[in-house]
Structure 1
Amino acid sequence: MSDVLAPARLGPLTLRNRVIKAATFEGRTPEALATDELVEFHREVAAGGVGMTTVAYCAVAPGGRTDRHQIWMRPEAVPGLRRLTDAVHAEGAAISAQLGHAGPVANAKSNRAPALAPSRMFNPLGMRFTKVPDALGIAEVVAAHARAARLAREAGFDAVEIHLGHNYLASAFLSPILNRRKDDYGGALVNRARVARELARAVRDAVGDTMAVTAKLTMEDGVRGGFSVEESLQVASWLQDDGALDALELTAGSSLLNPMAIFRGDAPRKNFAKVLPIPVRWGFQLVGKQFLREYPYRPAYLLDKARRFRQELSMPLVLLGGITDLATAEQARAEGFDFVAMGRALLREPDLINRWHTDATTRSLCTHCNECMPSIYTTTHCILRTRATT
């Protein structure tokens, strides 16, 4: 058996294999609560063979959502989430909840709550300026992460993933472009990293060793003057030394500044514009080519940068980006990565991992067209799979 498909330890967990379904907003929570459709989405992926699936995006506060249709962690959400975790466990997989605060990526108009950012900026989604939290406001966000982690444990999750990427709130604090503060949370990198480190410590203290605690960390913003690989390496080293995390999942890019650095492949500008609300759509039509840049797709496209993290860190690492076949996953293992994370390939074929067991040469049918990206505003899906099954 391939080492990728063999059981592996993640903190207190033993996963049946080293494949993790990456957090991808499912678009199946219209009332900010788990639904039968959300349960089935993750049950199907679990039945398809992954070691662990990740529910995205479980905001720690109502204003921390990218819009009001996302789950936010509160007692009313627990029963539905318990149905979800039970369904995944029944298929033999583990399940993680991605916890975070969207910060400047939040839609303040939709949420009817201010969007937070480390420094004042215009929030194009909500068409208003962000609110800058003081030290007390930051402490409230940290406490909200701890509460959310305890609720995730109550709901039966095996793990939580703290969102430190894509210029959501913690990542925005890391970025020198977005963080222009002069207090203890701005300026030098050690200050800009305080939020990320405090979140990790608070979540670990909240759940102890009863759950695995991981984090998704941006390796770079992908824009000039933004958070760099060198800075990310230092933050990762601090997080490792702090000892609050069981693993780091490495990502790249910014939902605000350069989202295609996360995905690679075709840039679905035409269909993306169609689903945006007016007047955001008008702005997108003017700057769409600059905002949705086009990067050629290649297997394991984040590996070159991630290698530096593997060389300098001893903690478990999860490689994300361009994992679509067993050979690429095995390459990641050979280079020392403990787990691989997959997103779009599992949207296309939820049973892909089971097919690897049957035929190790199986390749994903995902074409990297990225037309799944605009579908997050309705129900996240692969348009090719829909066509093939209707």
Structure 2
Amino acid sequence: MTSAPDVPTQGPATTAASVPDVLAPAKLGPLTLRNRVIKAATFEGATPDALVTDALIEYHRKPAAGGIGMTTVAYCAVAPEGRTERRQIWMRPEAVPGLRRLTDAVHAEGAAVSAQIGHAGPVADAKSNGRPALAPSRMFNPISMKVTRSATEADIQRVTEAHADAARIAVESGFDAVEIHLGHNYFASSFLSPKLNRRDDAYGGSLENRAKVARGVVRAVRAAVGDRIAVTAKLNMSDGVPGGIWLGESLQTAKWLEEDGCLDALELTAGSSLLNPMYLFRGDAPLHEFASAFPQPQQLGIKLIGKKFLIAYPYQEAFLLEYARQFRAELTMPLILLGGITNRETMDRAMAEGFEYVAMGRAVLREPDLINRIAADSTGRAVKSLCIHCNKCMPTIYSGTRCVLVDPEPPRG
């Protein structure tokens, strides 16, 4: 995109004179964004045939028209078995025409667009996909109720190359950036996890070995795209489960990614889609709504044991900031702050603490025009998000992701 002049990327310095304006243009690698606000990847539930639909295009056009700097298309799987379930897009030549329509629509509204590429690994639903899921070590998968097989070295190489191929598809489709999914116990994240990775080969044991998949995938993507588009990654600071990755090991992994020099920015996240999804979202745990989204007997099972899986954590603004500060203190690369970013005050706080970008999810789902409303507020403090953190949007991923307070019924088309 060339919609704004080049602006130097701000580093972690936070003197009063150097704190960036979150709504001013900014550089992200080779890309110039119109502001520093990114719509985080949230699965849209709008691709029933694993291809782009008008509903998916509209899902991303709305926040683009609403002032967001860049929107992120969620879960563009790099391989068919890498989907969390069969209705997700996987990056292949047949997907390009639809993806091009989507990127053109976002660009027409003045925003940039990123493709989140990744492989679900043990989070994949093998029953839905009709293909075996992959994990670092053999394990029982509570999602598909099947045993997930251990990835071979050939599998690891194939998945790594598939990330590079997916990134090339993204370039061909007109994306401005790719976000590599290294979080939430997806494939690369599961290798990082001591709980899920019990291997005794070159990909297990020490953190250096467990980080080989994540580092290899990032290197392969950068080699595939060069400087044609921006390359970011989403990394867990904590899995939120006993025995999972924690801040110390995650920070060391981030340092290695910084040393490798292949990323333009790192988005800091938390939680496990496999074992503790609410650790990322915070707020109410919509157990009844989740159960209602499934047929029997899964519905009964969720009602009986769902409280052990869907744990309610209190919501607060910038709820990942305390963890993220530790990364900001020891890294020089650009960082994206995620989690509880809903108003101008919180955005300004992130900028003052040295973060280069902020990412918003539920608040923009509730109000796609939130950024335009914030920008139009002369006080900078009057506009507050209408999101109440009920998280009832989460179960709608199975029928069309939406805020049920605004759109009670699933979208059509």
Normalised by the shorter chain, which TM-score bucket? over 0.9
1:204-252 per-residue CA deviation (whole Å, 9 max, x = no partner) reads 0000000100000000011121101110000000000000100000000
Is 2:94 aligned against 1:88? no
Q: Counterpart of 1:3? A: 21
Deviation at 1:382, TM superposition (A): 0.1
Q: Do 1:124 and 1:280's aligned partners in 2 also have CA atoms closer than 8 Å?
A: no
Paired residue for 1:141? 159
C-alpha distance in structure 2 between counterparts of 1:119 and 1:282, whole Å? 29
2:311 aligns to what?
293
Q: CA deviation at 1:52?
A: 0.2
Aligned partner of 1:324: which letter?
A: T
Verify: 1:367 aligned to 2:394, yes or no: no
Q: Which amino acid aligns with 2:110?
A: G
The equivalent residue for 1:182 is: 200
SS in 2 for 1:214: strand
Between Structure 1 and Structure 2, which shows a larger proportion of helix residues?
Answer: 1
**Which amino acid counterpart does residue 202 of structure 2 have in structure 1?**
D
Structure 2 residue corresponding to 1:58, chosen from 69, 76, 98: 76
1:15 is aligned to 33
Q: Residues 265-292 of structure 1: CA distance to partner in whole angstroms, max 9, x if unpaired?
A: 0000111111134443343223211111
Cα distance, 1:102–1:278 mapped onto 2, change above 3 Å: farther
Q: Does 1:303 align with 2:324?
A: no
> In the alignment, what sits opposite 1:37?
55
Partner of 2:263: 245
AA aligned to 1:111 is N
Equivalence map 1:1-390=2 (5 Å)? 3-359=21-377, 360=380, 361-386=382-407
Offset from partner CA, 1:320-348 (integer Å, 9 cap, x none): 00000011010000000000000000110
RMSD over aligned CA atoms reads 1.4
Inter-partner Cα distance in structure 2 for 1:28 and 1:387 = 16
Matches of 1:352 and 1:301, distance apart in 2:
20
SS in 2 for 1:385: coil
Aligned amino acid, residue 34 of structure 1: V
Q: Tell me the distance in 2 between the aligned counterparts of 1:351 and 1:227.
A: 36
**Cα shift at 1:387:** 5.4
Question: C-alpha displacement at 1:20, in angstroms?
Answer: 0.1
Aligned positions, number: 389
In structure 1, give the amino acid aligned to 2:259: D
Q: Which consecutive residues of structure 1, in runs of 5 or more, have no partner in the other structure?
A: none
What CA distance in whole angstroms lies between the structure 1 residues aligned with 2:142 and 2:374? 43
Question: Counterpart of 1:365 in 2: which secondary structure?
Answer: coil
Secondary structure (helix, strand or coil) at the match of 1:147 reads helix
Consecutive unaligned residues of structure 2, counting only runs of 5 or more, are 1-18
Tell me the secondary structure at the aligned position of residue 386 of structure 1. coil
Moved more, 70-79 or 273-282: 273-282
Matches of 1:92 and 1:127, distance apart in 2: 44
Are the aligned partners of 1:103 and 1:117 in contact in 2 as well (CA < 8 Å)?
A: yes
Do 1:15 and 1:93's aligned partners in 2 also have CA atoms closer than 8 Å?
yes
Where 1:99 maps in the other structure, the secondary structure is strand
Secondary structure in 2 matching 1:205: helix
In 2, Cα distance between the equivalents of 1:357 and 1:190? 44
- Indicate if the aligned counterparts of 2:143 and 2:274 stay in contact, CA closer than 8 A: no
Give 3-state SS (helix, strand or coil) of 2:181's partner: strand
Aligned-partner SS, 1:219: strand
TM-score (norm 1): 0.98
**Among the aligned pairs, what percent are the same residue?**
69
Give the secondary structure class of the aligned counterpart of 1:104: helix
User: C-alpha separation between the residues in 1 aligned to 2:195 and 2:297?
Assistant: 25
**Distance across 1 between alignment mates of 2:147 and 2:393:** 29
Q: Which moved more, 1:273-282 or 1:53-62?
A: 273-282
Task: Return the offset for 1:2.
Answer: 7.4
